[in-house]
């Protein structure tokens, strides 16, 4: 079964701390993030990002997020892998549902992918 899900999200909490700063080198940080989803995806996401900031303010980041809620009326949870960049005030992120991470009605979801650009829209395809 293929599903195309569109959702918006809000950032409810962002707690970012540096874990490695050295003179002349990119800064490394970790952020604990809480998100809420509305649309075809509803629920809450708990996300951990690892980020590297360059001198020009751009960044690269990776993260893992557990989303608990529903997709198209099917309840459960799943984990999403994030990989992205931040440049010129715009975040561009590729999302992949981690195989085997689904629970409840989402247990059979074998894969999913998505992308968002900016800070308030998400698009997810899953099967």
DSSP for 55-77, written as a single string:
TTS-EEEEEEEEEEEEETTEEEE
Tokens, residue 82: 């994030």
Radius of gyration of the chain (CA): 15
- pTM of the predicted structure, to 2 decimals: 0.86
DSSP character at residue 26:
-
pLDDT value of residue 44: 98
Percentage, residues of the chain above pLDDT 70 = 85
List, in sequence order, every residue forming a beta bridge with 123; answer none if it has no partner.
6
The pLDDT of residue 70 is above 90: yes
Tokens, residue 19: 């874990």
């Amino acid at each position: 079964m293929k599903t195309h899900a569109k959702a918006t999200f809000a950032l409810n909490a962002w707690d970012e701390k540096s874990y490695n700063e050295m003179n002349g080198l990119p800064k490394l940080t970790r952020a604990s993030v809480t998100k809420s989803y509305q649309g075809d995806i509803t629920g809450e996401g708990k996300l951990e990002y690892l980020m590297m900031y360059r001198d020009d303010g751009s960044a690269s980041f990776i993260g893992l997020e557990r989303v608990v809620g529903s997709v198209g009326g099917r309840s459960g949870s799943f984990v999403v892998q994030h990989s992205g960049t931040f440049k010129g005030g715009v975040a561009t992120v590729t999302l992949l549902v981690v195989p085997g991470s689904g629970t409840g009605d989402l247990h059979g979801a074998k894969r999913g992918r998505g992308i968002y650009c900016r800070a308030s829209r998400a698009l997810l395809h899953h099967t």
